[in-house]
Structure 1
Amino acid sequence: MPKGYWIAHGRVDDAERYELYRAANAAPLAEFGGRFLVRGGARQLREGDAKPRSVVIEFPSYEAAVACYESPAYQDAIALRHGISESDLVIAEGWDG
């Protein structure tokens, strides 16, 4: 079964308040097996446009990635970041080759 991934590019406008979102998203990410592969850090934009921060989270399955996003706990976390950050997020199915 292919893994699932959240691939996000974002911008944080209020780092202090953003910490509330990070704290709130920890429980649903753990519940659905989410694991950070990329969380900020150095990067080089080589083509196209993207916001200044990149995040990649791996889940045990595509279904788990979707279920985490749709969970009430994660939806509550999202509400905490509205107005303090902006993100583009894709949920993608991994490729098993």
Structure 2
Amino acid sequence: MTCYAIGHLRDVEMGEEIIAYLDRIDATLTPYQGEFIIHGGEKHHLEGLFQGDMIVIAFPDRDQAQAWYESPEYRQILPLRRRHSSGDVFLIDGVGSDHKATDILTA
């Protein structure tokens, strides 16, 4: 099942270290088959007020996502982002194409 690494980042201070992080993150994703699905972008608000940037990276499964986050290559660049942003980061499993909203009632 596809697993997503979700980042809701706020207060990003664009500068040398964030640019270095951005320059290096793609190479950390490749061994784990990670790919950006959403990386910031213009938001069209329908409800509420979402502040900050949304980042979504898809991985083939939870094991690959966790291995990427814990990899020495990613751990080396992670402080570059943490020093210049705040926010929430988590992994969440996707659902199959046959998923119905009511499936959560039996989970």
Shorter-chain TM-score: which interval? 0.7 to 0.9
Counterpart secondary structure, 1:27: helix
TM-score normalized by the length of structure 2: 0.78
CA distance in 1, matches of 2:8, 2:37: 14
CA contact (8 A) 1:18 1:84 kept: yes
Residue 57 of structure 2 corresponds to residue 57 of structure 1: yes
Residue in structure 1 matched with residue 87 of structure 2 by the alignment = 87
Residue in structure 1 matched with residue 3 of structure 2 by the alignment = 4
Report % sequence identity: 32
CA distance in 1, matches of 2:46, 2:52: 9
Counterpart secondary structure, 2:91: strand
As a proportion of its length, which structure holds more strand?
Answer: 1
C-alpha spacing 1:52/1:87, structure 2 compared with 1 (3 Å): same
Offset at residue 82 of structure 1 (A): 2.7
Q: Any unmatched runs of 5+ in structure 1?
A: none
CA distance in 2, matches of 1:45, 1:17: 33
TM-score normalized by the length of structure 1: 0.85
Residue in structure 2 matched with residue 17 of structure 1 by the alignment = 17
Q: For the aligned residues, what is the CA RMSD?
A: 1.8
Which aligned runs of 4 or more in structure 1 are off by greater than 3 angstroms?
A: none
Larger radius of gyration: 2
Counterpart secondary structure, 2:86: strand
